[in-house]
Structures are given as C-alpha cells and as structure tokens.
C-alpha cells in the first residue's frame, strides 16, 4: 500500500475528474482536462464532485467497510482468510492487509476531496459563489465521512486539509481525537449550510449532512466521558437528527427486502451511498458479490463466489420469530428460496448459511448487460434514514436508563413497523443497540456502535464482546430448526479496551515515524 503522503503527492499531478457513475454524467476526455481549462462553469464543478462518490477513490475502502464493521464485532467470519480471521480473533497485526487497505483507501478519498476543494477555490471567478459553495460542500461532506471512519477505527489520526503542504513536509503527526471530531463537525456544518434540500438522486443534500452531524455528535458525546455522556453534545445530536426526521419530508422505503435491490438504488431513504457503475473493470467497481457470494451461478458471468461470509450464532439469535423479512434480506439459511437470483433459471435455493445482503444476482437479474464480476451495480448506502431514526431515539434516551418519549418511540417503531415486528413501548440502550445491529447488519455499522459505547462505558462494551456466542450453526429447512455448532468455536483473545483501536499499518509508521509519537493538537 502507498503511504498517505505519496498518495496525495501523486494526486497533485492528476485531474480529479476520473469517471465513476454514468447516471451522474457523461464524461469528457480526461486527457484534455486540466485545472486551468476545466473549472470554468457550474457544470464543470458537478463533473468534478461526481468523481468523489465512488469508483477508484472508494475502491480500497469497500471491503474494509464491510469486514471491519461486521467481522470485528462478531457478526461473521471467513475461516480461509488469515487477515480476516485476525479481525475475528482479535489478533490483529500492523501488517494486516484489510487494515492497511482501509487506512489507505480513506486517505485516498480525503486526498481527492482536498484536491477538488483546492481547485474549486482557484476556479474561474465567473462561476457563481453559490455553485462553488455547493460543490465544496459536497467534497467537505465526503471528506468528513472518511475522517469519521478513520477516527472511529484508529483514534488519533493525521488531519490533512491541504495536499500541497505535504510536498515540502511529508512527515505527519497524529492529531488528537477531539480535534479530529471538531474538524469533522466543521466540515459537516458547512455542508449542511451549503447543500440543497434536494438534488439529483445519489447526490448528498443538507439532510445527508444533518443526519451525519446527528450521528457524529452522538458518537462524540461519549468521548472522554465516564459512565455518562456529554449532554450538550447529545442535545446537538437530537437537534440535527430530529430535524431530518421531522422536517426533511423523507420516509423509509416501504419494503426492507426490496431496499437492497439495484432497481431501488438511491431511493429517498439513502442519504449517502457509494455510486458503483457496471463494466468499469478491476479497481473501479463494487466487488462484494464476487468475493462473498455463495455460488458463481448467481453472479455476473457465472464467476466468483469464492468464499461466503459465515454467520455467527450470536447474530442469528438477534432475530425474533416475527423478524423474517430483515432476516431473509440479510442472511441466507439452508433452503431459502430467492426467485430474483438467477431468475432466468428459476431462482436460487440456498445450500448453506451466509450473508445475503449485497448478493444481487447476475447481469440478467439486474438488467445490466455490462455488469461483470468486478463491477456490481449496487450503490450501497453508508447512511440511511433508518440509521438517523435510531440515532434520534438514542439521543433522546441520552443518559437515562429508559425512555417512553413519544418522538423516540415514534421513529424507533417506524423502523420496526417496516420489518413487520411488534412496536416497542419503552426504550433502553440495550434495546436500541440490538435494533441497530439487526437493521444495519452487513452495512458496516455495528463496530462503530460498539466503539461509541466503549467511549463512555468501556466495561459494558468489553463485556458484550466477551459474552458473544462466536460459533457457527446449521439449519434444517424441513424442521425449521437452527442448531449451534459449539465444537467449531474459533479461539479468540479476550477483548480489552485496547481492542477498540486498530493499529496503524506498519508500512505507514516505517515511512513516517511521527505516527508512533503521541498525538498533537490541530487547533
């Protein structure tokens, strides 16, 4: 992996206009584009920011997004992949390829955002200020999302907002966690003030920024606390998430099962989704199905499906008997029938237990002739309205043991109603954490939720991890009985508070020894 300072220096020599999604735009020839002749009109700015939503900038992050978010907290495992099993068994080394890819991928996104922001600030004076501000707001929103994932996973990390400064001074100190969060909130506040209330499907809006602000403030509220969270930050989380809930005019997509089908990409519930085009080739497209599908028969061009993500008994037990819609959309059990997968051949019947979410079928199933094994057209969401509903409920709960607050129950139960499960009459921290795990499984969220808990109640967070039933299970489709396989338990190191911070990749520290030093203030 390239160290981050090399990434940004390389990007200084490149245009920020590489293609990523045809539905956003028709791209001009990149060989004829430069910062001197390109940023001349509002449409040029739209072309520049469209590049930040997917494709090459995000390519290295997609697998870490899924695996760090769901394997670290004991949701799934993949026994034939050593680096993944390090995540599962808490034996992570600084040479771990998934960790390195995640770090590099996020800093790649940040470098791209910085380059676009710098170019827009230097662009033609004839472009209206409102258009410049909106384009910068898109880039700052996406940069904030990248930094949010960095600080949650690695804690104190370097803040880079101007790539050019690295040319003369490429060695970086880490910055304090509190300053990284401050940087994120400043970016998101700017975005919330300068993004429109609506835009082309797939583009972020003020509701995206406010929803993300609510989530960030909720996470921040526990940082540096002991036993309880900062009430002022909880109030900010409630303010922004509540504004999205009450005033955006947005609603949950009616069907949880259909939410993840490609024909429903960028539906109104999707507040921020990575945009993946079919037919773009290795290094530019969504690769989740080719790696984690249970069978090549349901993949593009009948290829891939090398190893499924195995489901833990701990996750399976989260689903109640009535919670069948979310379960089937998320987890395949032996005997499950999916008519939409390989539909031309009569559908697909699962022969085992594995992840279903992100497994979308082949090119015919998705009416996508150019879809390949390296380019699934699923635009998976990194922030959904359902997530914001649950953030709002948790912010209202705050430091209370429980709540029957009307707003908290209203939006919490909207999520449950769509799933066809009974409404809750009272909420607690455990109730909300469980609901988030089920609703957002395999969407890279559960580890973030555990880190948020560890900030202010580390003993509880550690106990949850150490109490998990981390073994696989079998399912009899005739008797409809699931049986845990306790003989297949994988040896796992006990979790401690240090388990919630990933090591900085060894390649980064060897290139920049300052990363091993204590963090310094940014502000």
Q: Report DSSP letters for 483-518, one per residue.
A: EE-GGGPPP-PPP-GGGGSPPPPHHHHHH-GGGGSP
Token code pair at residue 409: 């129950």
- At residue 37, the pLDDT reads 63
The closest of 5, 328, 386, 371 to 165, measured between CA atoms, is 5
Token code pair at residue 498: 């240090």
Cβ neighbours of residue 303 closer than 8 Å, sequence gap 6 or more: 290, 296, 373
Token code pair at residue 142: 């996406």
- At residue 488, the pLDDT reads 74
- At residue 306, the pLDDT reads 79
First to last CA, the chain: 30
What φ, ψ does residue 384 adopt, rounded to 5°?
A: -115, 160
Which residue carries 């845990």 as its tokens? 484
Residue 270 vs residues 7, 203, 345, 475, 523: alpha-carbon distances, Å: 30, 10, 31, 33, 33
- At residue 475, the pLDDT reads 97
Token code pair at residue 238: 């409630």
pTM of the model: 0.93
- At residue 491, the pLDDT reads 87
The pLDDT profile of the chain, 523 residues, written as one tens digit per residue, is 445 434 333 443 443 333 344 344 333 333 344 556 678 899 999 999 999 999 999 999 999 999 999 999 999 998 888 999 999 999 999 999 999 999 999 999 999 999 999 999 988 888 999 999 999 999 999 999 999 999 999 999 999 999 988 888 889 999 999 999 999 999 999 999 999 999 999 999 999 999 999 999 999 999 999 999 999 999 999 999 999 999 999 999 999 999 999 999 999 999 999 999 999 999 999 999 999 999 999 999 998 887 899 999 999 999 999 999 999 999 999 999 999 999 999 999 999 999 999 999 999 999 999 999 999 999 999 999 999 999 999 999 999 999 999 999 999 999 999 999 999 999 999 999 999 999 999 999 999 999 999 999 999 999 999 999 999 999 999 999 999 998 877 889 999 999 999 999 999 999 999 999 999 999 9
Cβ neighbours of residue 167 closer than 8 Å, sequence gap 6 or more: 9, 12
Token code pair at residue 185: 């909130």
For residue 310, list its beta bridge partners. 77
Q: Which residues of 183-207 are buried (b: 16+ CB within 10 A; e: fewer)?
A: bbbebbbbbbebbeeeeeebbbbbb
Are the CB atoms for 108 and 60 separated by under 8 Å?
A: yes
The structural domains of the chain, with segments of one domain joined by +, span 282-374+440-501
Are the CB atoms for 84 and 67 separated by under 8 Å?
A: yes
Neighbouring C-alpha atoms within 13 Å toward the C-beta of 421: 21
Element housing 393 (H / E):
helix 385-397
Residue 451 vs residues 101, 239, 241, 372: alpha-carbon distances, Å: 20, 22, 20, 36
Give the C-alpha separation, 21 to 47, whole Å.
10
- At residue 129, the pLDDT reads 95
Q: Using a CB cutoff of 8 Å and minimum separation of 24, what contacts does 121-125 make?
A: 122/35, 122/39, 123/39, 123/40, 123/44, 123/45, 124/39, 124/40, 124/41
Token code pair at residue 348: 């697909």
Give the C-alpha separation, 158 to 161, whole Å.
10
Give the C-alpha separation, 443 to 167, whole Å.
36
What is the overall mean pLDDT for the chain? 92
């Amino acid at each position: 992996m390239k160290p981050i300072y090399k990434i940004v220096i390389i990007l200084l020599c490149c245009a920020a206009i590489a293609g990523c999604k045809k539905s956003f735009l028709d791209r001009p020839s990149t060989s004829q584009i430069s910062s001197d002749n390109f940023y001349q009109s509002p449409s040029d700015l739209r072309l520049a920011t469209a590049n930040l939503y997917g494709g090459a900038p995000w390519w290295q992050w997609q697998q870490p997004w899924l695996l760090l978010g769901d394997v670290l907290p004991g949701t799934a495992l993949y026994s034939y992949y050593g680096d993944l099993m390090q995540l599962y068994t808490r034996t992570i080394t600084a040479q771990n390829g998934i960790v390195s890819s995640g770090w590099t991928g996020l800093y790649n996104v940040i470098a791209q955002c910085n380059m676009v922001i710098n170019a827009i600030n230097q662009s033609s004076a004839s472009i209206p200020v409102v258009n410049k501000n909106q384009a910068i707001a898109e880039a700052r929103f996406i940069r904030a999302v990248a930094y949010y994932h960095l600080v949650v996973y690695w804690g104190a990390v370097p803040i880079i907002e101007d790539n050019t400064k690295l040319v003369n001074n490429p060695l970086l100190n880490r910055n304090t966690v509190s300053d990284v969060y401050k940087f994120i909130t400043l970016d998101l506040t700017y975005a919330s003030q300068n993004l429109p209330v609506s835009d082309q499907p797939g583009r972020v809006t003020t509701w995206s920024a406010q929803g993300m602000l609510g989530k960030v403030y909720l996470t921040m509220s526990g940082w540096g606390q002991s036993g309880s969270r900062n009430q002022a930050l909880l109030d900010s989380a409630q303010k922004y998430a509540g504004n999205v809930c009450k005033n955006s005019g947005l609603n949950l997509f009616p069907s949880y099962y259909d939410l993840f089908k490609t024909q429903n990409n960028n539906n109104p519930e999707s507040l921020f989704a990575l945009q993946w085009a079919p037919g773009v080739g290795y290094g530019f497209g969504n690769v989740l199905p080719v790696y984690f599908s249970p069978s090549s028969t349901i993949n593009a061009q009948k290829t891939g499906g090398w190893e499924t993500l195995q489901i833990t008994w701990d996750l399976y037990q989260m689903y109640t008997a009535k919670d069948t819609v979310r379960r089937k959309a998320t987890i395949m059990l032996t005997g499950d029938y999916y008519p939409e997968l390989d539909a031309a051949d009569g559908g697909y019947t699962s022969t085992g237990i594995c992840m279903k979410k992100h497994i979308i079928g082949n090119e015919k199933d998705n009416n996508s002739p150019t879809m390949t094994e390296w380019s699934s057209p699923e635009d998976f969401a990194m922030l959904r309205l359902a997530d914001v509903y649950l953030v709002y409920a948790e912010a209202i709960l705050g430091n209370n043991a429980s709540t029957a607050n009307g707003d908290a129950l209203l939006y919490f139960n909207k999520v449950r109603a769509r799933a066809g499960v009974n409404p809750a009459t009272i909420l607690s921290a455990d109730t909300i954490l469980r609901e988030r795990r089920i609703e957002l499984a395999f969407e890279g969220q559960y580890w973030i939720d555990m880190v948020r808990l560890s900030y202010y109640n580390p003993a509880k967070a550690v106990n949850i991890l150490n109490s998990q039933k981390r073994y696989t299970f079998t399912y009899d489709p005739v008797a409809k009985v699931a049986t845990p396989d306790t003989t297949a338990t994988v040896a796992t190191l006990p979790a401690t508070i240090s388990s919630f911070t990933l090591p900085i990749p060894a390649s980064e520290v060897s290139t920049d020894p300052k990363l091993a030093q204590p963090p310094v203030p940014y502000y």
